[in-house]
Amino acid sequence: MKICIIGTGYVGLVSGTCFAEMGIEVACVDSNAEKIENLKYGRLPIYEPGLEELVVRNQAVDRLGFTTSLAEAVEGAEVVFIAVGTPPGEDGSADLSHVLGAAQQIGKALTHSVLVVTKSTVPVGTTERVRDIIAGLTDVDFEVASNPEFLKEGNAVEDFMHPDRVVVGVSSDSARLTMERLYKPFMINSNRLIVSDIRSAEMIKYASNAMLATRISFINDIANLCELVGANVSEVRRGMGADPRIGNKFLYAGLGYGGSCFPKDVDALIATAAGLGYRMEILEAVERVNDRQKNVLVEKILRRFGDDLTGRVFGLWGLAFKPETDDVRQSAAVFTARELLRRGAVVRVFDPVAMAAARAELGDGVVYCESMYSATQGVDALLLATEWKAFRVPDWDVVGRMMRGRLVLDGRNIYDARELTGLGFEYEGVGV
């Protein structure tokens, strides 16, 4: 079986590589010639644990190829995936120009019957628009389907290889059978394929991300109230999570959600509803809480040191929006660094993999350090923004000798307050 994947970004590259790992012949196509050339030599545009090894291995056995020619990639393919970006527009709605552009290219390149599958995160009704565009450009028979992705950055390869569910939206038995055959290698132990109509599949993706974002904002709202009333959100979370109707996932207080998915998907769902004359009032509140939450560490610093931070030095551990990725989009850490710089502070930063990506956002305004410990040199306070494993059990004796002050602001609640106070530090978490 041969498939074509249009787009070698996060979704396209992970999907194509994992399909190839299961023995499927995959042609990945992208208009960015430099990216394609780098991929041919095993140089990846993203950091994702385990992905580079799979790309190199499957290229070596000719199951995975990269090209800038859509006609070449589509030739002989049974399924063509659209996996291009859908960035937010100025009004929050999803920018579909890349998706619809891919549809036009497919319509011009088709010479045989294929199943065209939208894997990009798209508003309800987009797959039908893709169908109409292609139909207007070719007389070749084809079908369309929706197959939204549910990949967590930092765990994407594992998520794809061992999915908790695979959602497929189809309008015919032949499309369903093709998708079942394609995903059969991933369903050997348990069939987790969920088949729906196309519009429901598109909505499942947005509804899922919106629910997770809601849980994050909810527990952050509770955390802020806990600080005011003297409760501990970690204990509250344990009590809530023990209820099987609630569970404990995505109930960790912190600095809010970021990355490429939750912010834009919440925006897009709000915009979709607005376009139909309906308000998503819960999601509007979720977004407001999240925007406020990114400012938590800055607010704690301003309460301690005042509004003018000239002469103050702060160490920041973590720049990526979450561990195991170099993605800094909508990162609370980057927001925090910017706000501190704006108030005259010196900010010393370290992240295990996201330094280059952060430099593209922050420029040379911050001090990029070679290690987590050098980031604490002479600082008035240490801020933990991303809970990388490397930060979980630091040598506090070294940290204490390096710092000028003794304040530790834990934006992810990973440290033990009693331990740190016993070592002579001042500790503040979020909601604790």
355 backbone φψ class: left, alpha, beta (φ>0; ψ -120 to 50): alpha
Q: Look up tokens 């589509």; give the residue.
A: 74
Residue 405 has pLDDT above 90, yes or no: yes
Tens digits of residue pLDDT in 176-210: 999 999 999 999 888 999 999 999 999 999 999 99
pLDDT score at 260: 85
Q: Are 36 and 67 in contact (CB under 8 A)?
A: yes
Per residue in 18-58, pLDDT (tens digit) is 999 999 999 999 999 999 999 999 999 999 999 999 999 99
Answer CATH for 294-428 from 3.40.50.720, 2.60.120.1140, 1.10.10.10, 2.60.40.420: 3.40.50.720
Give residue limits of the domains in the chain.
Answer: 2-196, 205-292, 294-428
Catalytic residue IDs = 261
- Tell me whether domains 2-196 and 205-292 share a fold: no
Q: Which tokens go with 59? A: 């290229």
Per-residue tokens: 414: 């990973």
pLDDT surpassing 90 at residue 300:
yes
153 touches 257 (CB < 8 A): no
Give residue 189's pLDDT.
Answer: 85
- Decide which of 3.30.70.1350, 3.30.70.2970, 3.40.50.720, 3.90.1150.10 is the CATH code for 2-196: 3.40.50.720
| Calpha distance 20→14 (Å, rounded) | 10
Q: Is the pLDDT of residue 277 over 90?
A: yes
Reference 319, options 377, 378, 267, 365; nearest CA is 365
Q: Which two tokens stand for residue 392?
A: 């979980």
**pTM for this structure?**
0.93
Residues 234, 236, 242, 244, Cα dihedral to 10°:
-110
CATH number for the domain running over 205-292: 1.10.1040.10
Going from the C-alpha of 150 to that of each of 153, 212, 255, 324, the distances in angstroms are 10, 12, 22, 17
